[in-house]
Structure 1
Amino acid sequence: MPQTYFTPGPAELYPTFHQHLQRAMDEQIGSISHRSQRFRDIYKFADEQLRTLLSIPKTHGIFFTGSASEVWERVLLNCVEHESFHLVNGSFSQKFFDYAGALRKHAHLLEKPFGEGFDAAEIDVPEYAELVCLTHNETSSGVQMRPAEMHKLKRKYPNKLFCVDTVSSAPYPDLDFSLIDSAFFSVQKAFGMPAGLGVWISSESCLQKAEYLLQNDTLTIGAHHTLPTLWKHYRTYETPATPNVLYIYLLGKIAEDFNRIGIDNLRRQTEEKARMLYKFLDSSDAYEPFVKQERHRSQTVIVATTKKPAAEVIATAKAANMIVGSGYGKFKESQIRIANFPAVSAEQVANLIDQLKK
């Protein structure tokens, strides 16, 4: 009997992934030139499907990177002359902040304990911060920041660039890209693919900032995949260097599958499965939700504190062919993480809950 992966990335492969991969193999997609018309068509198709799915306007480009964490470096180099501002409440938002320090930027932070979330009303962005770095879904702790709060914050600080990490939640968050300048994700989570491709959505405002920084002889915006270079090639649906052509093809196909279901339906299904999981955790004697504030609870990565050692819970679930994620970092022994991505059905979630009840 095949295993079902409830891990927060790499995660369960989307059910149609196999047929798309087979077709790609039949058509030898992995061998085509990234300077061919065939590749330009593949890029354009993926672009169109993601644009429809995420409501991305023409003011924003869609670029491909090796991973999502690569985008931390790209966006900081291309959009920050001196200062960035970071909301930190987990290991991945902390890493985004750490990258800024490693790149010799003056990085400000507002920090909350692991498991707590942010609301716009409590946030004051430093006066000289150029880029505001937000994490929609903190994969390590299961905390989300609601898009409405991000939009409120941007309206309060309209002249600052806003970048959102949606790595373990896209396409779930309903971001308003007339307000959000940049966002990024990777494909091995909610898009149900193996790891190996990052997606960076970036506005013309970010491009203008990068072009401005390029004129400063004392600064670098990097050498590899700078925004001006990405945009230049993007205008003809090309890339500066050879990309992961196969994965761009597969991402376009899975985004098309999502569009057939409809983004509103996908979001509703995600929320329904999350409700099932949180209802179980709230009523259980053996588990409890780690995130106490309901409005801050992730809909895509549910984190539970376990009464038994987490390793026992994970081993028992594995014996029933269900692979659950362990807690992150120092919470490895006391928590489990359950991915609630489109690849996993409500029926599979119900089976997992039945198993955890045992």
Structure 2
Amino acid sequence: MITFYPGPSKIYPQIATYLQDAVQEGILSQNHRSPAFMDMLKQCITLFKQKLNVPADYKVYFTSSATECWEIIAQSFTAKGSLHIYNGAFGQKWFEYTKKIVGDATFDIPFGINENIPLLETDTSKYDVICITQNETSNATQVDVSQIPSAEALIAYDVTSSLGGIELDWGKGDIWLASVQKCLGLPAGLGVMVCSPKAIKQAELIGESKHYNSFLFVHENFEKFQTHYTPNVLAIYLLKRVMEHVENIELISAKIKTRNQDFCRFIEQETVWTLLIENEAVRSDTVIAIEGVSDAIKQLKQRAKEAGITLGNGYGNWKENTFRIANFPAIEDWEFEALKNLV
């Protein structure tokens, strides 16, 4: 079965072996306060930072999902207000969810899917956090973080569809959040949050401690290589094993970008299909949205099903007239060639 679904997506084939190893090594029977688990967690974080070039003074935390990270940011990093800049469904959902927690101190700036992200001309000192969906899975756009100026407020990026697929400039943000079921090639069930020293300092100044997943409680436990609640031990173990075998993100990123450009050129030569995102400067490297007539898409999906290939559905406003293709590292080049033959 070949799947191009943009999340949960294809897992690395080595996962089958890693699952057996996890059972045989006995790590799944260790409690999360044991030396064995703490050592495994430490190894996982160390490898994660090495392979993804995370700065030494940034901290890595694991949660249940990227959505939980939205909640933690709203609860623990936001006192004055939160500004959300988005062009798609997931950025809007982040804004709407934050508003349920923060209330009227939540503000938004929507922009078009073929537009560059609006540069911040507003006084950022009135916000605690500026929230940006770096890779908008719903419409296959991405934000070039190099365009984002420094700000007094924290800058938080949702990188759920790009973490592990493209190289990130960590210094351009203070909070980075994601889930593992996309570019990291793992089953769903684990969220990742990466925080700068500036973010940690702000959380300490706010001092929020009302919730079980309050950031200070999370941080306190991870400083001891423990977790704030009983974690998904298997997911952390699998992430460690994946980090052991993958190449450095610089190499992965170069391959993903090249394959994206190749497939987009292929689609541009077609007469039936067009790329939803016309502006190449804002086109995602890891998710490709292809536009066409609804009936043609239905016929293509049927041919794909018969060929053992799963395509991603359109999302939100583009549900009926687009389909999406994941360009994640676990997907192999020969699978893209099979897709070209089908299209």
TM-score, structure 1 as length reference: 0.91
Alpha-carbon distance in structure 2 between the residues aligned to 1:161 and 1:46: 26
Q: Are 1:32 and 1:39, in contact at CA under 8 Å, matched by a contact in 2?
A: yes
Corresponding residue number in structure 2 for 1:350: 337
Where 2:172 maps in the other structure, the secondary structure is coil
Note the alpha carbon deviations across 1:50-107, whole angstroms, 9 max, x for none.
Answer: 1012222232211111111110110121111021111110000001111221013412
Counterpart of 2:324 in structure 1 is 337
Which residue identity does 2:82 align to in structure 1? S
Corresponding residue for 1:194?
187
The equivalent residue for 1:123 is 120
Change (3 A) 1:338 1:31: same
Q: C-alpha displacement at 1:203, in angstroms?
A: 2.1
**Alignment partner of 1:168 out of 158, 161, 176:** 161
* In structure 2, C-alpha distance between the alignment counterparts of 1:117 and 1:7, rounded to whole Å: 25
Count of residues paired in the alignment: 340
Of 303, 318, 321, which aligns to 2:308? 321
| Partner Cα separation in structure 1 for residue 18 and residue 221 of structure 2 | 26
Structure 1 stretches lacking a partner, 5+ long: 215-219
Q: Are 1:304 and 1:336, in contact at CA under 8 Å, matched by a contact in 2?
A: yes
Look up the match of 2:227. 239
Q: How does 1:139-150 map to 2 (within 5 A)?
A: 139-150=137-148
Q: Would the alpha carbon gap of residues 197 and 117 (structure 1) be closer, same or farther in structure 2, given more than 3 Å must change?
A: farther
Kindly provide the amino acid, as one letter, of the partner of residue 245 in structure 1.
V
After superposition, the Cα gap between the structure-2 partners of 1:4 and 1:331, relative to the gap in structure 1 and judged at 3 Å, is same
Mapped pair 1:22 → 2:20: yes
| Contact residue 14 and residue 343 of structure 1 kept, 8 A | yes
Counterpart of 2:284 in structure 1 is: 298
CA shift at 1:172, angstroms?
Answer: 2.9
Cα shift at 1:117: 4.1
Amino acid at match of 1:29: I
Q: Indicate which of 262, 265, 269 corresponds to 2:251.
A: 265
Q: Tell me if structure 2 keeps the 8 A contact 1:117–1:143.
A: no
TM-score normalised according to structure 2 size = 0.95
Secondary structure of the residue aligned to 1:85 is strand
Q: What is the distance in 2 between the residues matched to 1:226 and 1:104?
A: 15
> Equivalent pairs: percent with the same residue?
29
Kindly indicate whether the alpha-carbon contact (under 8 Å) linking 2:27 and 2:36 is maintained by their aligned counterparts in 1.
no
Q: Is the 8 A contact 1:79 1:131 kept in 2?
A: yes
Consecutive unaligned residues in structure 2, runs of 5 or more: none
Q: SS in structure 2 opposite 1:87?
A: strand
8 Å Cα contact 2:213/2:228 also seen in 1: yes
Contact 2:22 2:234 in 1 (8 A): yes
Change in 2 beyond 3 A, CA 1:272/1:135: same
Give the deviation of 1:126 after TM superposition.
3.9
RMSD across aligned C-alpha pairs, in angstroms? 1.6
Query: Partners in 2 of 1:236 and 1:79 — Cα distance?
Result: 22
Query: Is the 1:170–1:185 Cα contact (8 Å) retained in structure 2?
Result: yes
